Amino acid sequence: MVVTVMWGYGGGAWSWLGPLMMLVFWALVIGGIVLILRSWWQHPSRPGQRSDTALEILRERYARGELNREQFEDMRRDLTSK
């Protein structure tokens, strides 16, 4: 004689907990993957995604008074002559 035990199918009060925990688990896994992909996609070190280019930094230095007009123009020409 074979006895089959079917956990969770007895209609007990806690039988809904298994499927709920499975949904929570998969929601966390998918959410984690989405967060990792978003952080990778928006990372500033990716080519074409840098917010601080050399020319922007040069303009900021000029605006702060670290460079005079002549130095700014020389450096700007060097950066844009490629």
pLDDT tens by residue, 30-66: 999 999 998 888 766 655 545 568 889 999 999 999 9
Long-range contacts of 62-67 (CB under 8 A, 24+ apart): none
What distance in Å separates the CA atoms of residue 73 and residue 71, rounded to the nearest whole number? Answer: 6
| Assigned domain for 61 exists | yes
pLDDT exceeds cutoff 70 at 8: no
Query: What is the model's pLDDT at position 80?
Result: 85
- Residue 60's domain comprises 52-82
What distance in Å separates the CA atoms of residue 19 and residue 52, rounded to the nearest whole number? Answer: 48
| Assigned domain for 2 exists | no
| Assigned domain for 12 exists | no
| Assigned domain for 24 exists | no
Contact 55, 82 (CB under 8 A): no
pLDDT exceeds cutoff 80 at 21: yes
Query: What is the model's pLDDT at position 73?
Result: 94
- Percentage of the residues of the chain whose pLDDT score is greater than 70: 71
Query: What is the model's pLDDT at position 11?
Result: 60
Domain count, the chain: 1
| Residue type, position 60, single letter | E
